[in-house]
Structure 1
Amino acid sequence: MTPTRTIEVDLDLVLTDKEPIAQDVVRLTFARPDGTDLPAWQPGAHIDLQLSPELTRQYSLCSDPADRTRWQVAVLRAPDGRGGSAHVHDRLAPGDPIRARGPRNHFALQPSPRYLFLAGGIGITPLLPMLTEAERQGAEWELVYGGRSLASMAFHTELRATYGERVRLVPQDEHGLPDLDALLGSPRPDTLVYCCGPEGLLRAVEEGCAAWPADALHTERFAPRGGQLAGEGEEFEVALARTGRTVTVPPGTSVLDAVEQAGVPVLSSCRAGTCGTCETAVLDGIVDHRDSLLTPTEQAAHDTMLICVSRAACPRLVLDL
């Protein structure tokens, strides 16, 4: 399967089911109120949920892409979070209406004869549909799934029941951390690595894959890389090709904020360089990439940028806005 770009839409949905599936994890099921099909999506996609007028959060779709009647996400209660997971756990109830935007996919499953999937905690969610697709492709694959304890690891029972020994569960309280040296120490031919989880796991996997072929590793982050947003940067100009306007971006102000202050509306969500909503084509100039989403190859092309965090590495950028 060659991933194709999906068209983002704004949807009015209803929460049809909410069920606990692990310690501090609930699975939410959404459908259209009239029961019509939802937009098509591919493994790795996520959606924005507008939990309140001031609260929008991104969640990976973890249901079956072939089932167009519903979307499902799983949400971990984060005690030190910014309020989204608490709202989901404490306030959302079946029957509630909710506004959604998407689907959006910067973590698409690329065709390969072999896959190594690495999950940490709630990072299992975007990988679930990938396993289904890898099976459909007839590819070889294995999943190594770590968590604090078995009770905290969502979907572990059905994963083992469905896929058997190809799923390796590594609860930390029983087995410690996954042995990444053994998994990644020698690059595997014709193998793609997909990893999602906490920052410590992602950084360790990135280090472990340093000797692997370029773009063998695919990651998704729920929060920016440590230090990725540091530094205010220099003042620069942004030329908006569609409007013919030029906007000055001072130190400490994002391109997104500067463009919005100039009266040009741009879709955005996380404002942290992780979701991709504000991705904008770069027509000319060099980008100081500060996002946690684009691959090194995508960043090196300097033909797109996440304007909520990235800046210019030159005096002037020309954007498709």
Structure 2
Amino acid sequence: MNKLTQYGWNTSWDHEWSKEDRSLLKPGRITADFGQMYRVYTSEGEVWGELSGKMKHTLQSGDPSPAVGDWVELQLLEGEGRGIIHGILDRKTSISRQKAGAKSAQEQLIAANVDILFLVTSLNDDYNPRRMERYLIMAWNSGVSPVILLSKADLCDDAEVKAAEMELIAPGVPVHAISALEDLGKDAVIGYLKEGVTVALTGSSGCGKSTIVNWLAGTSEQRTQGIREDDSRGRHTTTHRELFLLPQGGLMVDTPGMRELQLYDDDGGGWEQVFADIEAIGEGCRFADCQHINEAGCAVRVAVNAGEIDEKRLLNYRKTQRELQFQMKKEARSQRKMNRKDRSVKEPVRRKSSFWNSRLNEE
């Protein structure tokens, strides 16, 4: 198992593994997801993994597919350089978002068993505090520790001002202005990359995530390309999720850029944590159900008028609240639909059973 420690295996995972008889299986960590196939690191090296028939059937019921960072139960096929994935160990953390375009509430798992999440935004036209609030909600809900990276600091004359603005919307969250081009802030970032620690990168397309991976690795692990000058946006350079072992000893997951982050749920209380200042001031409102729009005695509106709260932050507070409430309703509708489907399958069986019972009673 020693080779696995650099990929995050520890006594906690060892204890989890020993709970069941897995003598015919080996643990492995998914390092890349290509849809039907996975790259998995094991104590015997890296192999290709595919799902067992039973797992494929289970996933059809709506369970999330294995994700980069997952620890899996693997049956190695000797001499073939591949294995069959029979199960997933319980995740310690999972970074999720609402699946884009889905009519019902559907979780899209981005990465699993991540310790630290680097929230990346570049200091050009991509810079957007309101978007960062959404990323922070996702981070807190995932159970990971967020760190904000302001990339491309060489393109900005007031990087310190932008960093201070981010610190205001994310109290207690580390904020670092960095530049791969000028090698700025590298020591601060490397400080998070300890052996066995998994760090994931997320942010909009073109914010410099792949550049950061290459910068820290000292090699061209990820392909990069330029951004459009008119809107500072990039195309999806990274097309799949992948986990890299860095020379500093840490692990890093690069993910495709997000043009839009749709929040999935708020089980971890991320929304309240991001907007804790507004929630605290709101306790002073006259009405317990105050929406902070134009109600009499609204303490939040008083704070906005006094310049203590940014009006745009309050608007995002209400917008993300509505979005999460809507997702909860969609999830409830999906659950009711599944329950009706289950009943429709079971009902004919019950009717048939009742028919034969009545015949037996007559006899």
Bigger strand share: 1
Relative to the length of structure 1, the TM-score reads 0.29
Relative to the length of structure 2, the TM-score reads 0.27
Considering only CA atoms, is the larger Rg found in Structure 1 or Structure 2? 2
Bigger helix share: 2
